[in-house]
Amino acid sequence: MPLRSRVVRFIAYSVLVYSLFAAISFAQSPAAGPVTLHEIHVDGFKKLTEPQIIALTQLQLNSPVDRDTLQAGADKLIRTGLFARVKYDFHTRGDQVSVTFHVEENSLLPAFFDNIPWFDDSELAAAIKSTNPAYDGTLPESGPLVDAAADAVKSLLASHKLDVTVEHQVMQNPIGDGNVQSFSIEGAALQISSLEFGDPALDSDRAIQAHLGELRGKPYSRLAIDIFLTEQVRPMYLKKGFLRVKLGPPQVRLTGAPTEKLPDRIPVYIPVDAGAVYQFSGVQWSGNSILSADDLNNLFVVKPAELADGQKIFAGWDHIEEEYGRRGYLEAKIEPAESFDDATHTVSYKTRINEGAQFKMASFVLTGLSVAAERKIFETFPVQPNQLFDKSKFETYLSRLQNKPAQIFGDLPVHYDNVGHWLRTDPTKGIVDVLLDFK
């Protein structure tokens, strides 16, 4: 039974194979003799290189091949998890075959090492790279390359007489967008004894120290520490204009031989590089037609020459998106690109707005309510059919449903714990349906 847990989402891949035959094909008579693989080519790759992909097929030049052999090479590519789709074609000349694989790469996930305090990320990456030379810090969602990475980490630990089980799973990135391929261990009951910061001001900050109880005495986990840094520590720096603050990665500063048993409680050190304090120098807007540049600047909560309060800057983007939603532009996207001037310690933004379509209310889809309760929804909903859909009114109404249902249903007996909700938009018609599921 394997020592790792493959907690991964299963993704169904399909190999689409087609063959272009020349005058002589694999269907030749035995008298024509065997055919050998003369050339292998790959196209469609972006991140990997052609030699890396060829190596993954395990096909050998100058070796006998047939269609089953080429199919097996394509299957090996799919099983790595690196590719969403693989096609191939081949042609023959005399007794030689040339094959071209057409690939579409999958998105790869950053590797994240959660509770392996004996080694830093560079040592763990080197262990994986020793078995996968193409490893660059990213891995597929599933497949043999991920399993091999877990085996490499386990072998590194075993070489230091650490008998633990290595698991991997896809999880949300604790400090950014998207997902990560997370590696963790079972079999080591390690707790955080203390946290020390590279900035002494944090060691005496009452708010930070009050929250440290969420970590002290708890199992060692970089995930938990990173979430703490993102939610409790980073906002303090952003508010003060330290927009490029660097926190971590957390370090476990141990003494003694790595083969010795770790103490049950371990100290954690958090490097901090606050960087410079920035002033705000303005926003250049593009893509906007519904709201003018003056409108947008008035909505934005930070003004030129003021401290670049990161919290207020983020709130500014939200205010603008909310204003579009109030006007029925439910799919408006705000895309800021920041530009730092390190000579003047200022930051500016070039912000593109994709306003999208304007939507009107169409219909309801309600589940989990009685007919009488549904009638109350129809009567009290703040946007009527064919009216511009004001998203702010919708969100206020959702809050009333969840927290003050009596304002909507009165004395009518209605029982639910939460309200699932979804806006089903049709941009071609400019309409939106409201779906509410009472559970």
Q: Which residue segments constitute the domains of the chain, with CATH numbers given?
A: 6-105 (3.10.20.310), 108-188 (3.10.20.310), 279-354 (3.10.20.310), 360-438 (3.10.20)
Nearby residues of 59 by Cβ (< 8 Å), 6 or more positions away: 37, 40, 65, 69, 70, 73, 99
Contact 148, 166 (CB under 8 A): no
């006007």: which residue's tokens? 327
**Cα-based distances in Å from 296 to 220, 327, 335, 340, 363:** 45, 14, 13, 21, 32
Distance CA 324, CA 275 (A): 35
Contact 312, 301 (CB under 8 A): yes
pTM of the model: 0.72
User: What are the start-end ranges of the E strands in 198-307?
Assistant: 246-247, 265-270, 272-273, 279-286
Listed range (255-269, 288-302, 360-374, 376-390) with the worst mean pLDDT: 255-269
Nearest to 325 by CA among 399, 403, 425, 421: 425
Distance CA 346, CA 341 (A): 5
Confidence of residue 47 (pLDDT cuts 50, 70, 90): confident
Contact 108, 81 (CB under 8 A): no
Distance CA 146, CA 23 (A): 42
Contact 327, 313 (CB under 8 A): no
Q: What is the pLDDT of residue 261?
A: 61
Nearest to 245 by CA among 216, 205, 202: 202
Average pLDDT of the chain, as a whole number: 87
Token couple for 29? 């008579």
Q: What is the pLDDT of residue 237?
A: 96
State the greatest distance between any 2 C-alpha atoms of the chain, in Å, as a whole number: 90
pLDDT in tens, 298-345: 999 899 999 999 999 999 999 999 999 999 999 999 999 999 999 999
Of 4-13, 212-221, 341-350, which has the strongest mean pLDDT?
341-350
β-strand 191-197 against 265-270: which pairing, if any? parallel
Provide mean pLDDT across the span 35-46: 91
pLDDT at 21 over 50: no
pLDDT at 22 over 60: no
pLDDT in tens, 154-211: 999 888 888 888 999 999 887 778 899 999 988 667 889 989 999 998 988 888 888 8
Q: What is the pLDDT of residue 17?
A: 37
pLDDT in tens, 329-342: 999 999 999 999 99
Query: Computed from CA positions of residues 364, 370, 376, 377, in that sequence, does the dihedral angle turn out positive or negative?
Result: negative
β-strand 6-7 against 431-438: which pairing, if any? unpaired
